[in-house]
Amino acid sequence: MANIVSQKTTKSKNELLDCKSSYWSQGNRFTVEMATTPLANQPSPYIKATYDENAIGLIKELKMMSCHNSEQVFFYFEWKSETPNFEIGNIGTFPDAVAILLPFKDSEKTPIKEMGTKDFPTNGWYWRPDFEEKPKNQVAHGLATSIYTKDSSLFSTSKWENGLWKVVIGRSLKVNEEAVNFEPGMKTVIGFAAWEGGNGERGGVKAFSKEWLEFELQA
């Protein structure tokens, strides 16, 4: 299982929230290999009948980094997208997106492919360009159960240029809404998902990391 470390830094929130900051451009990126979410996992008969599993999950890898400054934690993402999609458009066109998935408790009993179960839920951090840099905080208890919490403490910045999306998502280590809280030295697991909106990808139709990845906040 790969190990992703959120490096401790003294950089400020403003510096780290800049997706074009030298901190992100000079750091070592971690490559997350992505796979197509199986159509068998889609709860919608319409999706199963109209989508070709071989044609979805266009984003094959994410380049990412993470750090924290003892107050907030940040995730940087970079991926190829020849044509950006910023909003819901014509039929079959949706916004591009990226998300983080975390288990609330025992990761061995929390399936990533189903986004958790009734007793072992997951916490998602969901970014889309049409959210106006206010990512949504989600809770899921299995397939087709994701809901946005009333409040979200997430923040982000993003930039598309030269065929690349660059996105930073951040949040305070500890928050009041229903979400996974962090502290320096903490170890857990993490997963990721990404959507190519121009390919009709939305909801459960996406690319994702098939297995949990080890994740640690440097003490």
pTM, full prediction: 0.94
Task: Confirm if 59 and 79 have CB atoms less than 8 A apart.
Answer: yes
Structural domains of the chain ordered from first start:
3-217 (2.60.40.1190)
So what's the pLDDT on residue 2? 61
Residues 152, 156, 162: CA angle, nearest 5 degrees = 150
**Rounded to an integer, what distance in angstroms lies between the CA atom of residue 100 and that of residue 22?**
23
pLDDT in tens, the chain (219 residues): 568 999 999 999 999 999 999 999 998 899 999 999 877 776 677 676 677 776 789 999 999 999 999 999 999 999 999 999 999 877 778 999 999 999 999 999 999 999 999 999 999 999 999 999 999 999 999 988 999 999 999 999 999 999 999 999 999 999 999 999 999 999 999 999 999 999 989 888 999 999 999 999 999
Compute φ and ψ for 9, nearest 5 degrees: -145, 165
Report the amino acid identity of residue 10: T
Write out the DSSP string of 44-102: -HHHHHH--GGGS----EEEEEEEE-SSEEEEEEEEE-SS---S--STT----EEEEEE
Q: Which of 4, 121, 140 is nearest to 74 (CA)?
A: 4
**Rounded to an integer, what distance in angstroms lies between the CA atom of residue 107 and that of residue 146?**
18
In the chain, the DSSP E strands lie at 3-8, 30-33, 35-36, 61-68, 72-80, 97-103, 122-127, 136-140, 147-148, 155-161, 164-172, 187-195, 207-208, 213-217
So what's the pLDDT on residue 51? 73
**Rounded to an integer, what distance in angstroms lies between the CA atom of residue 13 and that of residue 174?**
15
Question: In terms of C-beta density within 10 A (0-12 exposed, 13-18 middle, 19 or more buried), how is residue 10 classed?
Answer: exposed
**Rounded to an integer, what distance in angstroms lies between the CA atom of residue 123 and that of residue 108?**
15
Q: Is 160 left (phi over 0), alpha (psi -120 to 50) or beta?
A: beta
So what's the pLDDT on residue 1? 53
Paired tokens of 66: 């993470």
So what's the pLDDT on residue 67? 98
